[in-house]
């Protein structure tokens, strides 16, 4: 039962990264692909109607994580207190930027919110990457399963690390590149003309950066967290996931060059999913490793809710998620096709 919920929560996080990932990415690259105010409006309108629904995946994944693994939620949210609060502030800035931008037509109003949107999108991508890095690296859990991390210590992932060290910063920058790529591909898919051409060019350049950084990050991850190697050695079929990730990243590059926007975006989505599943597979059954005594690690066994609650949860969760799938199919269908310069609300 705990294993089912581990993978359900992982799937929700994957959905969050794929969906909100492209609107983060669009935010990161919109100054690069759109030169004028009108063009920026188009670039942002490729995500305008859907970003809020995408962000709900974060809330729903957080809620489901809390429901299934309360001890993990309690320990990690309080342990990562400062960066999480900054994430909240950035989410506020980001939501306000995109929602309030079009309320006023003024030469100082639009650039202000456009800059806010770009900065908050980029910083959030780095923060989420660093968060993933922290989870992979492990944290100094005490006997009661609690910890508190300062923002930085000596910048090395040793026994008393901070939120930021060279490894988590690397993870943050890698995720920034990967999401910028994902977002550029989305903008290329949803626009036409000048913006589409520029978006494709940006995607082509960022692809090299993403490739290099992901290769570095993967090597570093195996060095920092020995658990990963143990997992893949114990269940070699798991190599499938990183292989899929590599293939998908290659496909992104090829499809982007061949002007197959939809295929490139889908390949990028598959790449994100395969990377995250690889990380989850490598950590399983651990949900938050201890960087000291391995016995203190939070696992699906010692962090999960009681069996009755988990069973009842399945009964409402499955029909609930089927409904969500219906909403999303509806929302994206009615938002099909390219966004033009003229049809703005």
Partner 1 sequence: MDALTIHRLHFAFTVTFHYLFPQLTMGLALLILILKTMALRTGNPHYASAARFWAKIFAINFAMGVVTGIPMEFQFGTNWSRFAKSAGGVIGQTLAMEGVFSFFLESSFLGAFLFGEKRLGPKAHWVAAFLVFLGSWASGFLIVATDAWMQHPTGYAVGAHGETVLTSFWGLLLNPWLGWQYLHTMSGSVVTASVVMAAVGAFYLLTGSHQEHGRTFVRLGVIAGIAATVLMVFPSGDGQGRNIAWNQPVTLAAMEGLFDTEQGAPLAILGQPDMERRRLDNPLVVPRALSFLTYQSWKAQVKGLNSFPPQNWPDSVPLLYYSYHIMVGLGTIFLAVLAIATFRLWRGALYQSRPLLWLLMMMLPFPYIANTAGWITAEVGRQPWLIYGVMRTPAGVSAQVSSGNALFTLIGFLGIYTILAILFLFLVYREIEEGPERAAAI
Judged by the rule CB under 8 A, the positions of this chain that interact with partner 1 are 49-50, 52-53, 55-56, 58-64, 66-68, 70-71, 73-79, 81-82, 84-85, 88-89, 91-92, 95-96, 99-100, 103-104, 146-148, 305-306, 308-309, 312-313, 316-317, 320-321, 323-324, 327-328, 330-331, 334-335, 345
Residue nearer to partner 1 on the CB measure, 100 or 239: 100
Quote the least distance from Cβ 44 to partner 1, whole Å.
Answer: 14
Residue nearer to partner 1 on the CB measure, 234 or 315: 315
Q: Are 10 and 165 in contact (CB under 8 A)?
A: no
Residues 133, 200: Cα–Cα separation, whole Å: 29
Quote the least distance from Cβ 296 to partner 1, whole Å.
Answer: 14
Quote the least distance from Cβ 256 to partner 1, whole Å.
Answer: 28
CA torsion angle for 117, 118, 124, 129 (degrees, to 10)?
Answer: 160
Quote the least distance from Cβ 322 to partner 1, whole Å.
Answer: 10
Helix (H, G, I), strand (E, B) or coil at 110: helix
Residue nearer to partner 1 on the CB measure, 269 or 304: 304
Mapping DSSP onto H, E and C, the string for 255-312 reads HHHCCCHHHHHHHHHHHHHHHHHHHHHHHCCEEECECCCHHHCEEHHHHCCCHHHHHH
Quote the least distance from Cβ 2 to partner 1, whole Å.
Answer: 13
Residue nearer to partner 1 on the CB measure, 81 or 208: 81
Q: Are 28 and 115 in contact (CB under 8 A)?
A: no
Residue in this structure with the two tokens 């658990």, named with its chain if needed? 227
Residue nearer to partner 1 on the CB measure, 83 or 238: 83
Residue nearer to partner 1 on the CB measure, 116 or 282: 116
Q: Quick one: which of 257, 250, 290, 256 has its CA closest to 274?
A: 250
Residues 232, 238: Cα–Cα separation, whole Å: 6
Quote the least distance from Cβ 151 to partner 1, whole Å.
Answer: 10
Quote the least distance from Cβ 23 to partner 1, whole Å.
Answer: 13
Residues 45, 41: Cα–Cα separation, whole Å: 6
Q: Are 290 and 227 in contact (CB under 8 A)?
A: no
Residue nearer to partner 1 on the CB measure, 4 or 263: 4
Tokens of 343: 């049809």
Q: Are 200 and 188 in contact (CB under 8 A)?
A: yes
């Amino acid at each position: 039962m705990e294993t089912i919920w581990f993978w359900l929560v992982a799937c929700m996080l994957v959905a969050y990264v794929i969906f909100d990932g492209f609107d983060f990415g669009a935010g990161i690259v919109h100054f690069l692909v759109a030169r004028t105010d009108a063009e920026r409006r188009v670039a942002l309108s490729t995500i305008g109607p859907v970003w809020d629904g995408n962000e709900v995946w974060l809330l729903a994944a957080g809620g489901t994580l809390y429901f299934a693994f309360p001890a993990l939620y309690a320990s990690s949210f309080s342990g990562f207190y400062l960066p999480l609060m900054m994430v909240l502030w950035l989410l506020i800035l980001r939501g306000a930027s995109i929602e309030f931008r079009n309320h006023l037509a003024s030469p100082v109003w639009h650039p202000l919110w456009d800059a806010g949107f770009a900065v908050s999108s980029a910083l959030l991508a780095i923060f989420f990457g660093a968060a993933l890095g922290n989870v992979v690296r492990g944290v100094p859990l005490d006997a009661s399963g609690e910890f508190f991390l300062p923002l930085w210590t000596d910048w090395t992932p040793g026994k008393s690390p901070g939120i930021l060290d060279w490894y988590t910063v690397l993870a943050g920058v890698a995720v920034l590149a990967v999401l910028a790529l994902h977002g550029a591909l989305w903008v290329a898919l949803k626009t036409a003309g000048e913006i589409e051409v520029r978006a494709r060019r940006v995607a082509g350049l960022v692809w090299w950066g993403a490739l290099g950084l992901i290769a570095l990050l993967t090597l570093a991850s195996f060095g920092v967290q020995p658990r990963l190697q143990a997992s893949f050695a114990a269940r070699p079929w798991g190599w499938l996931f990183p292989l899929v990730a590599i293939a998908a990243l290659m496909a992104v590059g090829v499809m982007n060059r061949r002007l197959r926007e939809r295929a490139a975006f889908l390949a990028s989505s598959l790449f994100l999913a395969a990377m995250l599943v690889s990380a989850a597979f490598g950590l399983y059954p651990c949900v938050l490793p201890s960087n000291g005594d391995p016995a203190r690690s939070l696992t699906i066994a010692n962090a999960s809710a009681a069996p009755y609650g988990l069973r009842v949860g399945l009964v409402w969760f499955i029909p609930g998620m089927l409904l969500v799938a219906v909403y999303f199919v509806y929302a994206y269908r009615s938002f099909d096709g390219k966004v033009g310069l003229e049809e703005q609300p």
